[in-house]
A and B are shown apart, each in its own frame.
Chain A
Amino acid sequence: MSDSKQSKIKFRHLRNIVSVLVEEYKRMLKDSGVMLIILGAAFLYPLLYSYVYLNETIRDMPIAVVDQSNTVRSRNFIKSIDATPDLQVTHTYNNLEEVKDPFYKGQIHGVLLIPADFSERINKKQQATVSTYSDMSSFLYYRTMALGVNFAMLDQNDQIKIERLNSMGKVGREAEIAAAPFTYKDVILYNEGMGYGSFLIPALLVLVIHQTLFFGIGMSTGTAREEDSFYQLIPPNSGRSIFHVVVGKALCFFSWYLVVSVYVLGFIPKLFNQPHIGNPLDIAILIIPFLLAATFFAMTLSVFIRNRETGFVVFLFTSLILLFLSGTSWPRSSMGQFWVNFSYLFPSTFGINGYVKINSMGANITQICDEYIGLWIQAGVYFITTMVVYKWQIGSSVKRNR
């Protein structure tokens, strides 16, 4: 007897939740503004960003050379710089003053100065010093210049060392070992090409999900507040409660975004051949608490959105803040404890880090248990805050309208 009564109560909960879910789906699909965000933007942004950052790095960056040595050796050095994939010598001058014009015009992003005593010093077995000047308007210009010059320099240094040792009567293996008593191998374990896109895109993909979900829910809530239609969510004598409304609404966006996530996190990295070495099952396990946390987070904050459109006006800037707070760019170890703690408020922090670790670094779910547990805690806390906020909003709407 009591068993069937209990199952009846359970069934009633389910029926109420499903009816909210169906209503919410209808409302969502009919709202062109919301669809523009959760379908249009979620579909287009990943394509657009993947395409813009397709090239990963700079190839053949134009630089100028001031060759004051003008010897076979200096010309060999310039040739080996030109041969690197990173740099291309487009201008040659006799003094530094002449370099200024093309540099100010942005035609070159670096300058190599080979001093007059370059060959002489090498021949005298002294150390010769070349000078490089890097355009610092972008981190990538500096890195490309440093990498290219360094590569050519190592190449020239090896040649000169062997030459010298040969002249000392040391040849073959003996010369090699004297030139380098030990060697080292640098292994780049993840993002082997040191590509900018491969580093940024995985973080952006998670952020696109987080932000479109946020603005989608914001717009839908803003509409409800504008029309003051919250009271309709709990019709009299329907047996519906705040709990049913919150769970039903959340399930609507959650289920929609499960599909979106398959496209954004599963399909896009394969399409553009971005890093995707993670186990899809681990990604799926991570995404469930991420979407729940992000949904309840958005539902809670939507209390500040009074109109359909104001979500953008109030919260658009957070997209940049959240990207930096995730710590994919500026390392978390240098962030300062206050901002590290602040970053734990946002599902994007755990979502981005968890996804990057699985997707780009091949971690499994046990290796990201911190992020995983963090997301479940956020989901729980933001569920409670959503309940509180909805109770207040629906309550005041009912008061006004009945």
Chain B
Amino acid sequence: MSKNIYKNTKAVILREWRRMVGRPIYLFSSAFVMIFCYIFFLTFFSEGMPRSMPIGVVDMDHSYVSRTFIRNIDAVPQAEIVEHYVDYSEARDAMQRGEIYAFFMIDKDFERELMSSQQPEFNFYVNEAYIVAGSLTYKELVYVSNMGAAYVQKKMLELKGEEVEENEILAIVQPIANDSHMIANPYANYGVYLLNMLLPGIMQMLILLMTVFTIGFELKMNTTPELMKTANNSMFAALLGKLLPYTLLFSILGIGGNLILYQYMHFPMNGSLVWFSLATILFVMAYQAIGVLFIGLLPSLREALSLVAVYAILGVSFTGFTFPIEAMPRGVQVFQHFFPIRYYFKIYVAEALNGAPIRYSLIYFALITAFILLPFITYRRLRKAVMKPDNSDSAK
């Protein structure tokens, strides 16, 4: 019996392989797209942290102090002064055109007021409509402003004949300082934030679409009798034979991706790459199972594909890696449990980023594995559709 299953499955696998190479869509929408996305995102974020973001300056004082300020700001690696504007409205116009992400403005008489202890004020303006560029330039401008204050205070005290040491002046300007540690991502590398989950986000899309497509297309084209003949009328062998080639293909793509990110690119991997790659394989199988669930639920290529496309797109949001789940309205938070990628993310955070002991991830391994059982819910329904080709939507 089990020997038969093996033989039948093998026959279906061979048939599936011929189909895969027979039409470009199968390998294009799996291997090609995935490899393209690896290349795209790795080169896209190759800078790691945005550097030399364009900012502007309005210097109405034209003094020694204002020029010193401008030099200091220009020295910050994250920002680069690309333009001097004559007034506020000209600078704002450039900001609205998207030419600069921020500008700062030093009013007339800044130096004179500073020297005569009138506590002048200078302004800087940031555009948070582009939140990454805005937040980063904002942080740098605050830092430079504080350092500027320290520098001026030192000079002032020196003028009054009070000799002060560098660390003393720091204690005066900033009695409490913060030594900020960014766990596992010390340079706030933006690629590390995004790539580790964006790429699985794309992969779950491809797995879902491909699983539904490869089964649904048989229903649509009425090729299921031939499929069942190859499988010697064993539904189990037919399903297994159709799925296994993709399990292998996507596992290779996933683990290959892990090797590129964590070995070649040296993204943080503070736990075990073996455990994480095991999670990758379970991730592939869980999404195949959900694909089977969808086509079983709606045994029509068009309907199942439309639904699975919506589900796949939502999965990217409900991973919770850009915008955390707990910041979402309570009513939608519950949806996180419908997406294996959410648990995959949890494993990634515990294993790769934080290097937590494996016991913290075991529950998520179990939950991902549970998804693999889902096809049994619709197994009979799918079987009926496969056995009776009239059910397909091409007959409608």
Contact = CB atoms under 8 A, between A and B. Distances in A.
B is bound to A: yes
Contact of B302 (A33, A139, A140, A190): A33
Given A194-B131, A367-B97, A334 B182 contact: no
A199 B132 CA distance: 10
A55 interface: yes
Contacts of B168: 125
Nearest to A353: B98
A196 to B, nearest CB: 5
Given A181-B117, A313-B305, A334-B50, A130 B179 contact: yes
Contact of B321 (A48, A138, A178, A336): A138
Contacts of B317: 49, 52
B73 to A, nearest CB: 12
A360 B95 CA distance: 12
Contacts of B141: 186
Interface in B163-194: 167-168, 170-172, 174-185, 188, 190, 192-193
B253 interface: no
B373 interface: no
A103 B313 CA distance: 29
Contacts of B119: 176-177, 180-183
Given A328-B130, A331-B50, A357 B178 contact: no
A278 B180 CA distance: 39
Interface string A345-386: 000000001001100111100011000000000000000000
A136 B175 contact: no
B129 A104 contact: no
Interface stretch (A3-11, A248-256, A315-323, A392-400): A315-323
A360 B45 CA distance: 25
A335 B44 contact: yes
Interface residues of A, number: 105
Interface in B306-322: 306, 309-310, 312-314, 316-317, 320-322
A312 B213 CA distance: 10
A135 B324 CA distance: 12
B356 A186 contact: no
A316 B145 CA distance: 45
Nearest to B335: A52
Nearest to A118: B176
B114 A58 contact: no
Contacts of A306: 25
Interface stretch (A149-157, A235-243, A289-297): A149-157
B174 A334 contact: no
B329 interface: yes
Most chain B beta-carbon contacts within 10 A, residue among A156, A198, A316, A339 = A316
B179 A36 contact: no
B332 A137 contact: no
B105 to A, nearest CB: 9
A129 interface: yes
A317 B33 contact: yes
Given A132-B178, A182-B122, A140 B132 contact: no
B43 A199 contact: no
Contact of A77 (B127, B176, B310, B353): B176
A314 B29 CA distance: 6
Interface centre among A182, A353, A363 (most CB of B within 10 A): A182
Contacts of A339: 40, 43-44
Interface string A165-186: 0000000000011101111111
B133 interface: yes
A41 B307 CA distance: 11
B276 to A, nearest CB: 14
A140 B323 CA distance: 7
A133 to B, nearest CB: 5
A259 interface: no
Interface string B10-29: 00000000000000010011
B249 interface: no
Contacts of B37: 317, 321
Interface string B215-245: 0100010000000000000000000000000
A55 B193 contact: no
A143 B138 CA distance: 12
B202 A189 contact: no
Contact of B178 (A104, A150, A182, A183): A150
A142 interface: yes
Interface in A83-131: 100, 103-106, 122, 125-131
Nearest to A114: B176
Nearest to B346: A106
A228 interface: no
Contacts of B170: 127
A268 to B, nearest CB: 16
Contacts of B135: 143, 194
Contacts of B294: none
Contacts of A368: 97
Contacts of B324: 58, 138, 140-141
A53 B301 CA distance: 32
Contacts of B332: 51-52
Contacts of B128: 188, 190-192, 194, 199
A59 to B, nearest CB: 8
B304 to A, nearest CB: 9
A317 B50 CA distance: 25
B269 interface: no
Contacts of A200: 131, 323
Interface stretch (B148-156, B255-263, B279-287, B374-382): B148-156
B103 to A, nearest CB: 9
B121 A185 contact: yes
Contacts of B3: none
A355 to B, nearest CB: 11
B327 A362 contact: no
Contact of B149 (A127, A182, A202, A312): A182
Interface in B90-133: 92-93, 95-98, 101, 110, 114, 117-133
Contacts of B387: none
Given A132-B181, A194-B128, A317-B33, 14 more contacts: A137-B345, A137-B353, A139-B132, A157-B174, A164-B172, A184-B121, A185-B123, A189-B127, A308-B302, A310-B213, A321-B37, A334-B47, A357-B98, A367-B97
21 contacts: A52-B328, A53-B328, A54-B328, A55-B327, A104-B354, A104-B357, A130-B179, A132-B181, A138-B320, A138-B322, A181-B117, A181-B153, A188-B126, A189-B127, A191-B131, A200-B323, A320-B198, A324-B44, A334-B47, A353-B98, A361-B96
Interface of A: 33, 36-37, 41, 48-49, 51-55, 57-59, 77, 100, 103-106, 122, 125-143, 146, 149-150, 153, 156-157, 160-161, 164, 176-178, 180-192, 194, 196, 198-200, 202, 275, 306, 308-310, 312-314, 316-317, 319-321, 324, 327-331, 333-336, 338-339, 353, 356-357, 360-363, 367-368
Pick the 8 closest A-B CB pairs, nearest first: A191-B128, A104-B356, A363-B96, A199-B131, A127-B171, A331-B133, A136-B185, A334-B50
